[in-house]
A = this chain, B = another copy of it.
Amino acid sequence: MIQLYHVYKAYGGDQYALHDVTLTADKGDFLFITGPSGAGKTTLLKLIFCAEPATRGQLLVDGVNLQRLKRSGIPYLRRKIGVVFQDFKLLGERTVFANVGLTLEVTGRPRAYIEKKVRQVLRLVGLDAKENHLCCRLSGGEQQRVAIARAVAANPIIVLADEPTGNLDDEITLEILELFREINRRGTTVVLATHNRELIRKVPGAKVGMLRQGRLVAAGVAKQVMAQRSALEMSSQGVL
Query: Which A residues are closer than 8 A to B by beta carbons?
Result: 11, 35-38, 41-43, 86-87, 137-142, 144-145, 162-163, 166-173, 195, 197
Contact = CB atoms under 8 A, between A and B. Distances in A.
A37 B195 contact: no
A22 B144 CA distance: 29
Contacts of A163: 140, 166-167
Given A166-B163, A166-B167, A170-B195, A37 B139 contact: yes
B172 A141 contact: no
Contacts of A197: 170
15 contacts: A11-B137, A36-B171, A36-B172, A37-B145, A37-B168, A37-B169, A37-B172, A38-B142, A41-B139, A42-B140, A87-B140, A140-B166, A168-B195, A169-B195, A173-B195
Given A36-B169, A36-B172, A38-B139, 18 more contacts: A11-B137, A36-B141, A37-B139, A37-B142, A37-B144, A37-B145, A37-B168, A37-B169, A42-B140, A86-B167, A87-B87, A140-B162, A163-B166, A163-B167, A166-B166, A167-B195, A170-B195, A173-B195
A74 to B, nearest CB: 21
A52 to B, nearest CB: 11
A51 to B, nearest CB: 13
A57 to B, nearest CB: 20
A214 B125 CA distance: 20
Q: Which 9 A-B pairs have the closest CB atoms?
A: A37-B141, A166-B166, A169-B195, A86-B140, A36-B169, A38-B139, A166-B167, A38-B142, A37-B168
